[in-house]
């Protein structure tokens, strides 16, 4: 039986799991925490020799002794991303037959080889080789001799190679298998990528050395003083009894002041044995660690020989306590609100071989967007990521490398979770994660895995975990009866469902381990979730799915680069673009979903009273006050700042509020259209610069009350009617209206073409990912194929205006529902066009519609636009809070498709008016009488967007497309979550609205003046 299909063999000669620690020769090196400063550390990353085989049985002894040409490959890395085989994306589908523990005979195998050098200083030491991550299983050979075997892709494997090496040049060979029986436990929603994808290194330890350390910070009942409990495992690899001493020294965060120390002398260690020592330090009122105040101390552990210190081991220590009390989980005695995200390790070129700088970038971006928690979905991350969470301050749900979601497709998701033959494989996953990560204060949850059903194997994991570590909470979403977990958890539950849950009596806190599926344009409805998190005692937030799109940057045969997803590499079966469901794009460009999330979870809340004289500021932080923030008031009129000032002495304790009276004189108060309050970082921090905006709010407090300065000068207007058209001419404008298509065929002003075509009422917008299920119903009802029947068109001249009245019926083919539409076009002599539309639904209409609105085609010169409403980024009715109210400017070059999979984008909701114009200022203004409206400007039509599968397929054409919408359906998160909430759903209804189009030149007057005229 092959090792990689044998459930009784999880490893051969692999070392026992332990914490990630490094030892140094002296104090100075140790306190750098830079492992490479030790002369007994050697990183083996780099270019290795490589052979790629389709079948493991093609391996022979030549891999150790031939000198023929080998290929080259980068380590860490995945072989599929370096030209060997193809990436394969699945969400829950196994890419091989479900027949555990067997895997296909065609099991691509990568053979890695390189030389390394051992100098004489290392020869009297124990030499360990460390693999931080290898997907999915491997055999290790040193100098042609088999050392061992390991599986479990996202967990470290260490081997003692002391007896296999020689002084001088040595050779390492690693045989990596794409599939193993462990692959049944690694069916996460991500790319199947293989190889040595994390660090490989050697360490040389003294023959008597510190092998493992566990640190527990036990706070007293008042969460003030602490006992620092340190458990140290010493290994003696000699053949005689040895005596050693240990000194603990706790230093402050600056590594300069000693807080406490203790030495334990004369520790006897038997030959070829280990011993554990428990040492305690009593610490008076240490600074506590939280995500808001990530205070870390430096613990230096020194191992003394007879005459010198033989080893220095440094650790960062954060004092914190996690517990469940009265239905809430507490950190240091306080209820904590999780404002979290799920995060896969992903790089657009390197897959899960994520460079350190990108880990830093991710955490900096999270902190800058008010995120305070991360779930390592769905596997232990690179160990350095947890160091960063400790340092910058993020709560962590550390999740075991365990998901067997594919068994759901055969009707028994719990198939191996309840099979006792798999028990040790399950336990191996939790043991190795806990032992590796046990010293990180940022970790407050151990998660047993993801979407693997339930059974005795999970019970065994939880039992082991609770015995091993009583300082953290246990999570597993599919423990539906809350049998073994400390916190109740669900995925993608609607707001209504969450309220149902909390109305049932429970003694456990509840979170959403996944919600607000951020696939494509979304998620919508974040505010409603946050509202109930604050309202209901047992709800303590959750983790948005997910942080980053998993697109892989590639190029087509024409050399065009694009982000690929499932199926783009010939990978069948696949789950298409379901891997592109992040708040940020694959290149880490910030998406509007992340901006919305930042706004919704901002830790400072602002409320303006009715007479607009007092702002109530509420501190929603769980621990800290607002002394690190500066608060500013800004007043704007017509897009310009007319007054601003700094609020002094705004120091508000956690969970408290303060009323602040606005210092505005009557003139400023009367002339301010938009009032903004924002709070910024007062000083530079580890994650953000001085001035970084933490929270803000904008209110419209006045309309523009300036008198209209334009006069309506009477000029001639006339029209000519043919069978097909009505041609209207004024002194400085010309318009052609097509009676057959109910559209403006062109509109010119001062000889300049402003509108090339458009104005027909329609119901369709480009499909978004979150329309995944409703679009099937829409297309079954042929919403995308509605047709106009013209029942009557009349034209009259009245009071120097031309009035066109149209009766029509808008309906799809092969259905008996539709809208009776009545249009009235009123064209004035100055070129102003008022389009009034009344619509009445008829028949059994669909349960919802994409939109109610009009589309116009513009010449390319009409590329600039200014608007009053929400901006500057896109906004929709259920994703608009981060788009502050105000006046904004943009141009069509900024309106590029932001999503990996083309879909609707770039909408601006709550719009008062928009002015579209060319480089010379010639253009037109659009408003909607008595209504705010939605608009968007795109260089592509809806039809072009809907037919394309990747951004690079979209080509800018000869026109710009302007949408003016009375109403749009919400976004929701229905790609894997709830559809838009009831209040955001566009249900067919009778409607009346009036669009005004007014041509003018910005060289004559501003759009603000034009608006007053209209």
| Helix (H) or strand (E) segment spanning residue 503 | helix 495-503
- Cα→Cα distances 676→373, 443, 607, 701, Å: 28, 37, 11, 10
CA–CA separation, 850 and 870 (whole Å):
21
Catalytic residue among 399, 451, 528, 596: 451
Q: Which residues contact 1011 (CB under 8 A, 6 or more apart)?
A: 704, 868, 912, 913, 925, 927
Q: Two tokens at 896?
A: 């590029």
The answer to whether 648 and 602 are in contact (CB under 8 A) is no
Within 10 A of 47 (CB to CB), how many other CB atoms are there? 11
Q: CA torsion, points 664, 666, 670, 672, in degrees to nearest 10? A: -20
**Any catalytic annotation for residue 74?**
no
The answer to whether 783 and 763 are in contact (CB under 8 A) is yes
Q: Which residues contact 923 (CB under 8 A, 6 or more apart)?
A: 754, 862, 864, 915, 916, 917, 999, 1000, 1001, 1002
**Any catalytic annotation for residue 874?**
no
Catalytic residue among 158, 514, 528, 944: 514
The answer to whether 319 and 219 are in contact (CB under 8 A) is yes
| Buried/exposed 162-198: b ≥16 CB within 10 Å, e otherwise | bebbeeeebbbbbbbbbbbbbbbbbbbbbbbbbbbbb
CA–CA separation, 448 and 468 (whole Å):
14
Q: Which residues contact 693 (CB under 8 A, 6 or more apart)?
A: 678, 679, 680
Which residues are bridge partners to 607 per DSSP? 616
How many helices (DSSP H) and strands (DSSP E) are in the chain?
13, 61
CA–CA separation, 369 and 603 (whole Å):
10
Q: Which residues contact 406 (CB under 8 A, 6 or more apart)?
A: 90, 92, 93, 94, 98, 184, 187
Q: Two tokens at 550?
A: 């998993």
The answer to whether 249 and 299 are in contact (CB under 8 A) is yes
Q: CA torsion, points 738, 741, 742, 745, in degrees to nearest 10? A: -40
| Helix (H) or strand (E) segment spanning residue 788 | strand 787-798
Q: Is the peptide bond before 728 cis (omega within 30 degrees of 0)?
A: no
Residue in the block written with tokens 């020194």: 302
Q: Which residues contact 494 (CB under 8 A, 6 or more apart)?
A: 977, 978
What are the residue numbers of the active site? Answer: 451, 514
């Amino acid at each position: 039986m092959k090792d990689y299909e044998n459930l009784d063999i999880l490893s051969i000669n692999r070392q026992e799991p332990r914490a990630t620690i490094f030892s140094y020769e002296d104090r100075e090196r140790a306190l750098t925490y830079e492992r490479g400063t030790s002369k007994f550390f050697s990183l083996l990353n780099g270019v290795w020799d490589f052979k790629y085989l389709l079948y493991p049985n093609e391996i022979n002894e030549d891999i150790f002794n031939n000198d023929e040409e080998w290929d080259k490959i980068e380590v860490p890395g995945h072989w599929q991303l370096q030209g060997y085989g193809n990436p394969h994306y699945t969400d829950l589908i196994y890419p091989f037959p479900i027949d555990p523990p067997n895997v296909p005979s065609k099991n691509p195998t990568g053979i890695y080889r390189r030389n390394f050098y051992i100098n004489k200083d290392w020869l009297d030491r124990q030499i360990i080789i460390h693999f931080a991550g290898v997907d999915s299983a491997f055999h290790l050979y040193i100098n042609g001799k088999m050392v061992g075997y390991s599986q479990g892709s996202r967990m470290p494997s260490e081997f003692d190679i002391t007896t296999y090496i020689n002084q001088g040049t040595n050779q390492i060979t690693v045989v990596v298998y794409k599939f193993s029986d462990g692959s049944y436990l690694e069916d996460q929603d991500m790319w199947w990528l293989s190889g040595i994808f994390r660090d490989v290194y050697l360490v040389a330890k003294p023959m008597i050395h510190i092998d493992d350390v566990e640190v527990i910070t036990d706070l007293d009942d008042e969460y003030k003083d602490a006992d620092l409990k340190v458990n140290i495992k010493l290994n003696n690899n000699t053949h005689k009894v040895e005596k050693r001493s240990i000194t603990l020294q706790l230093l402050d965060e600056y590594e300069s002041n000693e807080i406490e120390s203790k030495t334990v002398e004369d520790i006897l260690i038997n030959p070829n044995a280990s011993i554990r020592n428990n040492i305690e330090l009593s610490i008076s009122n240490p600074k506590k660690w939280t995500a808001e105040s990530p205070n870390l101390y430096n613990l230096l552990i020194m191992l003394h020989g007879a005459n010198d210190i033989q080893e220095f081991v440094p650790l960062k220590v954060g004092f914190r306590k996690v517990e469940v009390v009265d239905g809430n989980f507490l950190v240091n005695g306080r209820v904590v609100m999780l404002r979290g995200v799920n995060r896969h390790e992903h790089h657009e070129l390197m897959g899960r071989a994520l460079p350190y700088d990108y880990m830093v970038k991710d955490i900096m971006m999270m902190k800058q967007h008010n995120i305070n928690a991360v779930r390592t979905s769905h596997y232990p991350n690179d160990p350095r990521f947890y160091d960063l969470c400790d340092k910058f301050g993020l709560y962590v749900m550390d999740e075991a490398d365990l998901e067997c979601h594919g068994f759901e497709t055969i009707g028994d998701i719990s198939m191996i979770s309840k099979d006792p033959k798999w028990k040790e494989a399950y336990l191996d996953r939790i043991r190795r994660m806990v032992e590796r990560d046990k010293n990180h204060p940022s970790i407050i949850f151990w998660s047993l895995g993801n979407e693997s059903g339930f059974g005795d194997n999970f019970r065994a994991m939880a039992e082991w975990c609770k015995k091993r570590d009583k300082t953290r909470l246990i999570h597993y979403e599919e423990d539906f009866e809350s049998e073994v977990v400390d916190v109740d958890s669900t995925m993608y539950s609607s707001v209504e469902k969450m309220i149902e849950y909390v109305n049932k009596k429970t003694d456990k806190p509840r979170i959403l381990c996944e919600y607000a599926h951020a696939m494509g344009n979304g998620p919508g409805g974040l505010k409603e979730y946050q509202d109930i998190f604050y309202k209901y005692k047992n709800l303590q937030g959750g983790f948005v799915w997910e942080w980053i799109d998993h697109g892989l940057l590639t190029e087509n045969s024409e050399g065009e680069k694009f982000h690929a997803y499932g199926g783009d590499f010939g990978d069948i079966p696949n789950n298409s673009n379901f891997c592109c469901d992040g708040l940020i794009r694959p290149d880490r460009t910030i998406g509007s979903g992340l901006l919305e999330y930042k706004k919704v979870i901002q830790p400072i809340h602002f409320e303006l009273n009715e007479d607009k004289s007092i702002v109530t500021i509420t501190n929603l932080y769980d621990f800290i006050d607002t002394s690190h923030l500066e608060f500013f008031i800004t007043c704007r009129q017509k897009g310009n700042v007319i007054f601003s000032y700094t609020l002094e002495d705004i120091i508000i304790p956690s969970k408290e509020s303060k009323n602040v009276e606005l210092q505005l004189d009557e003139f400023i108060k009367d002339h301010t259209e938009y009032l903004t309050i924002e709070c910024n970082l007062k000083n530079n921090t580890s994650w953000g610069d001085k001035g970084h905006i933490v929270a803000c709010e904008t209110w419209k407090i006045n309309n523009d009350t300036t008198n209209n300065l334009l006069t309506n000068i009477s000029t001639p207007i006339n029209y000519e009617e043919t069978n097909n058209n009505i041609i209207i001419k004024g002194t400085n404008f010309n318009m052609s209206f097509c009676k057959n298509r109910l559209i403006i065929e062109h509109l010119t002003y001062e000889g300049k073409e402003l509108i090339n075509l458009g104005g027909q009422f329609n119901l369709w917008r480009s499909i978004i990912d979150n329309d995944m299920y409703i679009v099937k119903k829409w297309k079954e009802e042929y919403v995308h194929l509605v047709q106009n029947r013209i029942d009557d068109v009349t034209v009259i001249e009245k009071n120097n205006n031309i009035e066109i009245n149209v009766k029509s019926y808008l309906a799809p083919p092969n259905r008996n529902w539709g809208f009776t539409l009545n249009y009235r076009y009123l064209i004035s002599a100055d070129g102003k066009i008022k389009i009034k539309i009344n619509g009445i639904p008829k028949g059994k209409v669909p349960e919802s519609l994409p939109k109610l609105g009009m589309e116009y085609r513009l010449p390319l010169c009409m590329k600039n636009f200014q608007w009053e409403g929400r901006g500057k980024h896109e906004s929709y009715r259920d994703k608009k809070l981060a788009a502050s109210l105000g006046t904004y400017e943009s141009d069509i070059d900024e309106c590029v498709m932001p999503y990996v999979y083309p879909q609707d984008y770039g909408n601006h909701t709550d719009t008062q008016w928009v002015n579209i114009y060319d480089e010379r200022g010639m253009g037109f203004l659009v408003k909607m009488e008595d209504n705010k409206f939605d608009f968007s400007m795109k260089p592509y039509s809806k039809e072009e967007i809907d037919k394309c599968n990747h951004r690079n397929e979209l080509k800018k054409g000869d026109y710009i497309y302007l949408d003016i919408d009375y109403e749009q359906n919400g976004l929701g998160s229905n790609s894997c979550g709830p559809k838009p909430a009831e209040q955001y759903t566009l249900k067919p209804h009778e409607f009346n609205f009036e669009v005004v189009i007014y041509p003018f030149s910005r060289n004559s007057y501003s759009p603000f003046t034009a608006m007053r005229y209209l």
